[in-house]
């Protein structure tokens, strides 16, 4: 006795099933909640909090978990602060740099970008308005995979792409 009872898959059935599985995996990976660290100047906290709030809106297309610093560390010890920021960057797969005049001059933002790259995070930059700043410094331009406007679809696409390509 024995035999498969006619339940075997033909090569074309197997190929169709593989294609369907790959498409489902791609769709699932596109909707995964990404872990994001937001790098910004503390002077931009109000705007960054608005950005965070938009991502929490259930009707938002943005889908990420924010692992960035919410409250300044109560310390003037740079090593302590760096250690705590490194822990937050390490939990993220993508670092999103909020571009403003102050953040582009911030040594902390520069350091966070460097740490993000060392840890293998994807790095993108986001700007408010219709046109990116004209004075984006090389430490930002040379280390980001995308510079996108503060618009849900652009940020979501850039975050997903950076996470996949890191």
> In 3D, which of 81, 80, 109, 106 has the Cα closest to residue 96?
109
- The pLDDT value recorded for residue 141 is 95
Q: What is the DSSP annotation of 62-127?
A: --EEE-S-SS--S---HHHHHHHHHHHHHT-SEEEEEE-HHHHH-HHHHHHHHHHHHTT-EEEEEE
Report pLDDT for 100: 95
CB atoms within 10 A of CB 53: 10
Pair 125, 38: CB distance under 8 Å: no
Specify whether the CB–CB gap between 63 and 122 falls below 8 A: no
The pLDDT assigned to 63 comes to 56
Q: What is the pTM of this model?
A: 0.74
Q: Do residues 71 and 78 make contact, with C-beta atoms less than 8 angstroms apart?
A: no
CA dihedral defined by 44, 124, 158, 145, rounded to 10 degrees?
Answer: 160
Q: What is the pLDDT of residue 71?
A: 57
pLDDT of residue 112: 94
CA distance 163 to 165: 6
pLDDT (tens, 9 = 90+) of the chain, 166 residues, equals 555 555 567 788 778 777 776 666 555 555 567 888 999 998 998 998 888 877 666 555 555 666 666 555 555 777 878 888 898 899 889 999 999 999 999 999 999 999 999 999 999 999 999 999 999 999 999 999 999 999 888 988 999 999 988 8
Rounded-to-integer distance, Cα 86 and Cα 115, Å: 7
**Enclosing H/E stretch for 100:** none
CATH architecture of 34-165: 3-Layer(aba) Sandwich (3.40)
Burial code (b: 16+ CB inside 10 Å, e: under 16) for 7-16 equals eeeeeeeeee
Give me the sign of the Cα torsion angle 18, 157, 70, 140.
Answer: positive
Asked whether the beta carbons of 158 and 145 are under 8 A apart, the reply is: yes
């Amino acid at each position: 006795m024995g035999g498969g009872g006619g339940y075997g898959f033909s090569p074309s059935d197997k190929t169709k099933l593989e294609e369907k599985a790959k498409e489902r995996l791609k769709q699932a990976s596109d909707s995964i909640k990404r872990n994001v660290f937001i790098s910004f100047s503390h002077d931009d906290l109000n705007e960054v909090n608005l950005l965070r709030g938009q991502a929490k809106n259930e009707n938002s297309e943005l889908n990420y978990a924010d692992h960035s610093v919410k409250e300044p560390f109560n310390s003037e010890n740079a090593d302590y602060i760096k250690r705590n920021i490194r822990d937050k960057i390490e939990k993220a797969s993508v670092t999103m740099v909020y571009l403003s005049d102050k953040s582009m001059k911030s040594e902390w933002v520069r350091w966070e970008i460097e740490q993000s790259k060392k840890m293998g995070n994807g790095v993108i930059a986001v700007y408010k308005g219709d046109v990116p700043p004209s004075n984006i410094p090389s430490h930002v331009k040379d280390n980001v995979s995308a510079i996108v406007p503060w618009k849900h679809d652009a940020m979501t696409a850039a975050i997903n792409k950076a996470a996949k390509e890191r």
